[in-house]
Structure 1
Amino acid sequence: MVGYIVKRLLQVIPVFFGATLLIYFLVFAMPGDPILAMFGQRTPTESQLQALRDQYHLNEPFIVQYLLYMKGVFTGDMGQTFSGQDVSTVLARTLPVTGRLAVMAIAIEFCLSIIIGTASALRKGKALDNIMLIVSLIFVAMPVFVLAFLAQYFLAVQFGWFKPTVGSDNDWGGLWLPAIVLGVSLFATSMRLMRGSVIETLNQDWVRTAYSKGLSRGRVIPVHVLRNSLIPVITNSATNFGVLLVGATVTEGIFNVPGVGNTLYQAVIRHENATVVSFVTVFVILYVLVNLVVDLLYGLLDPRIRYAK
């Protein structure tokens, strides 16, 4: 297993350089002058423009800008935003907020998908199964901003169960409403994966053997069925976690969550290369590590899985 982990970690190196180079080029190629955009309606002097372009190395060719940025990364300097803040400071302020939101949303999605997916599979073709399939189709088809506005209006404004916006109250308790919206919007796919996996597992020989040995349903379902049905759901949840870490931009905007999504969106608009690339670089590394942990969980869930040396 150690060799497998080392091999997977070494794969981070080409992914790291490829992702940073691609994202840096995309931001560099965007039309418009980011320095002029900083002044809004004001008209800067040529000396001011030149000084700012020199400060942020915008007069240099693309490859020079990229190499200067990478030099800063390896020396612990991720650069500065156009407002003068260190990118590392902005990242340290926003990433924990989005991290909490992502963890809560994935936990809600995971619990709903396991409970509802298993219940639907055990009652295949019956009323509960048919109703849950229809509900899942509705949530798959419904845009997240529609669900967010509905939840905000009914759960926060009408019923008063939650605060309509997050703002500075972005601890675990303050993020429940956007987390519920994201979790419910994501659970439909995982639920259908869980349902299909449980149905397939119920038809396996070892399940019939377990019943033939006299094991009760309360023993067979959680030990022999659920454990071997979780891999598709875990894989999908890991993918969703990576997507949420990049920033649920729409949801964060609706609920005024001061997280990564809002910050990254504003950085793209302002052409802040250092901010965009630094954020994406951290997300790439986190995403690779999360998927490594998920791959290692496969061996615990299914003993038949072995890691190549």
Structure 2
Amino acid sequence: MASYVLRRILQVIPVFLGATLLIYFMVFAMPGDPIRALFGDKPPSDAVIEALRAQYKLDQPFIVQYLSYLGGIFRLDFGTTFSGQDVLTVLGRTFPVTLRLAVMAVVIAFVLAIIIGATSAIFKGTWYDQLMLVVALIFIAVPVFVLAFVGQFFLGVKWGIFNPTVGADNGWGGLWLPAIVLGLSVYATSMRLTRSSMIEMMGQDWVRTAYGKGLSRGRVIPVHVLRNSLIPMVTDMATTFGTLMVGATVTEGIFNVPGVGNTLYQAILRHESPTIVSFVTVFVVVYVFVNLLIDLLYGLLDPRIRYVS
């Protein structure tokens, strides 16, 4: 198993190089002049523009800019934003907020997917199962910004259960409303996977054998059937976690969450190559390691899975 983990960690290196190269090239190829765009309708003199170009190495060829950035990463120097802030400082301020939001949303989606998916499988074909299917389809079909505005109005403004915006209150308690919105927007797929997987498991011979040995339904369903049905759902949750880390921009904007999404969006508008590439690079590394943890979790869920070198 140790060799398997080491091999998966080494796979991060080409993924890291490929992601940074691709993202840096895409930012480099974006139309427009980021330095002139900083000053809006009142551009400075050409001398000032050229000085700023030299300061941010924008006067260098693409490969020189990329290698310079890559060398800075290995020295833990992620560059500076156009406003003069260190990118690593900005990342350290915003990344924990988005990470907390993503973790809370995944936990909410995970709990809903297990509870609703398992009960729908047990009561397959009943009114409850049909109702949960309709509700899941509604959450899949409704755009997240609509769900966010509805939740903000009713849960935040009208009923006052949560704060309608986050702002400086971005601890675990202040992120409940956007986390609930994101959790509801992504739970439906995992719920349907759990339901279908449990229905398939309950028809297996080994389940009938367990009942034949005298095991109660309260023992067979949660311990044997549900445990073996979680692998598709856990895989989907790993993908969902990565999606939430990079795709919560709209939700962060609506709820004024000072996270990565807002910062990354502003960086894209300003063509800030170091900020964009650094943020995306961190996302790639986190996503790879989350998938590694999910792969290792498979062995706990299904003892038949073994890791070979």
Distance 1:80 1:243 in 2: 26
Q: Which amino acid aligns with 2:29?
A: A
2:213 corresponds to 1:213: yes
User: Where does residue 167 of structure 2 map in the other structure?
Assistant: 167
Q: Read off the aligned partner of 1:306 and give its amino acid letter.
A: R
- Residue of structure 1 equivalent to 2:94: 94
Contact 1:121/1:195 (8 A) holds in 2? yes
CA RMSD across the alignment: 0.6
Equivalent in the alignment of 1:35: 35
Counterpart AA for 1:229: S
Q: How does 1:101-180 map onto structure 2 within 5 Å?
A: 101-180=101-180
Shift of 1:75: 1.1
The SS at the match of 1:230 is helix
Query: Could you say which residue in structure 1 is the equivalent of 2:20?
Result: 20
C-alpha contact (below 8 Å) 1:264/1:275 kept by paired residues: yes
Unaligned runs of at least 5 residues, structure 1: none
Letter in 2 for 1:204: Q
What do the CA deviations read for 1:72-130 (whole angstroms, capped 9, x no partner)? 11111000000000000000000000010001000000000000000000000000000
Matched residue, 1:10:
10
The whole-number CA distance in structure 2 between the counterparts of 1:92 and 1:128 is 45
4+ residue runs over 2 A deviation: none
1:74 is the counterpart of 2:74: yes
1:156 and 1:24 map into 2 onto residues whose CA distance is 40
Q: Is residue 247–residue 259 contact of structure 1 (8 Å, CA) maintained in 2?
A: no
SS of equivalent to 2:44: coil
Residue matched to 2:282: 282
Structure-2 separation of matches of 1:43 and 1:96: 36
Counterpart in the other structure of 1:191: 191
8 A contact 1:113–1:188 mirrored in 2: yes
Paired with 1:139 and 1:246, the residues of 2 have a C-alpha distance of 20
Determine helix, strand or coil for the equivalent of 2:185.
helix
Mean CA deviation greater in 239-248 or 273-282: 239-248
* Alignment: residue pair count: 309
For the residues of structure 2 that align with 1:47 and 1:263, how far apart are their CA atoms? 29
Residue in 2 that maps onto 1:249: 249
Aligned to 1:84: 84
Report Cα offsets for 1:258-305 as digits up to 9, x if no partner: 000000010011000000000111111110000000000001100111
Which letter maps to 1:5? V
Shift of 1:155: 0.7
Using structure 1 for the length normalisation, give the TM-score.
0.99
2:9 counterpart letter in structure 1: L
Contact 1:69–1:274 (8 Å) recurs in 2: yes
AA aligned to 2:269 is: I
Indicate if the aligned counterparts of 1:98 and 1:247 stay in contact, CA closer than 8 A.
no
Aligned-residue offset at 1:206: 1.2
Deviations 1:136-181 (A, max 9, x none): 1111111000000000011111101011100000000000000000
Which residue does 2:297 correspond to in 1? 297
Q: Which residue does 1:237 correspond to in 2? A: 237
**Greater alpha carbon shift after TM alignment, 237-246 vs 20-29:** 237-246
Task: Give yes or no for contact 1:97–1:259 (8 Å, CA) kept in 2.
Answer: yes
Report SS of the residue matched to 1:175: helix
After TM superposition, the structure 1 = structure 2 runs for residues 265-280 of structure 1, keeping only pairs within 5 Å, are 265-280=265-280
- In the TM superposition, residue 43 of structure 1 has moved relative to its aligned partner by 2.0
Q: Which amino acid aligns with 2:135?
A: V
* Displacement after TM superposition at 1:247 (Å): 4.4
Aligned residues: percent identity? Answer: 70
SS at match of 1:307: coil
Match of 1:132, as an amino acid? M
